[in-house]
Amino acid sequence: MDFVGIAAMLGAIIFSLGVHEAAHGWAAERFGDPTARELGRITLNPIKHIDPVFTILVPIVLYMVVGFAFGGAKPVPFNPMRFRPGTNIKRAIMWIAAAGPISNFILAFVAMLISQLALAYTNPGVTGGFTFRFLSSMVTINILLGMFNLLPIPPLDGAKVLAGFLPNKMANMMYRLERYAILFFFIIVYSNVGRYIMKPMDWMETQYSIVVGAIVRLLT
C-alpha cells in the first residue's frame, strides 16, 4: 500500500476502535455505571482510547507481514457493583460487550453509504483520494472488527455475549478466563482463527451492498 492507503487504514482503525470502546462505556452508563464517563472514555477523541502497541504497532506490522490487520484499544472499564439495583448483571455485561461490535456494524454501513453516494454525485477519480480510501477502509475494518470481536473467545466481546446465555456457574468461569488474555491473544494470532470469519464478512458486506445500492438508487 502507498502512504495514502496506509494513512487511511490506520486512521480508520484508530477511529473505529475509539467508537467501539466508547460504545462499551455508553452501554455501561445505560445500566447505571458512570465509571467510563468519569474516566473520560465516552468520547470519540482517539487519544483517550489509544494503546501505542495494540492500536498502532500491532495492526501495521500484521497487515504488512500477513495482510491481516488485528489490534485493540485500551479496554473501557465498568463496575457491575454500580449498576442500578435490580439489574440482571449477566445480561447487562452481555449488552455492554455487544455494544462494541454493534457500533462497528453501524459504522461500516454508514461508511459504505457515504462512499457510494460520493461516487454517485462525483467523478470516479474520487476513489484515489484519502477520504474515499478512508471510507472504504472503514467498511472492511469495521465489519472485520465486529465479526472478530464476536468470536466466543476470551477476552473478545463474544465471550461475554455467550456468557449471557450460559448458566451462572459457566458464565463466571468464562469471565475468569479473561485473566489469561495475553495467552488467548497469541492463540488468536498464531492459530489464524480469523479465517473463520472471512465468509461471514463477505456475506455481510454483500448484504450491505444490496441495501446501500437500493438507498443510493432512491436518492439519485
Catalytic site positions: 21
| Helix (DSSP H) and strand (DSSP E) numbers for the chain | 9, 0
- CB-neighbour burial class of residue 215 (10 A; exposed 0-12, middle 13-18, buried 19+): middle
The residue type found at 143 is I
DSSP structure class, residue 177: G
CA distances from 146 to 70, 81, 121, 188, 205 (A): 12, 28, 29, 15, 12
- For residues 160 and 180, what is the distance between their CA atoms, to the nearest angstrom? 15
Quick one: DSSP state of residue 83? S
CA 100 – CA 74 distance, rounded (Å):
13
CA separation for the pair 136, 96 (Å, rounded): 27
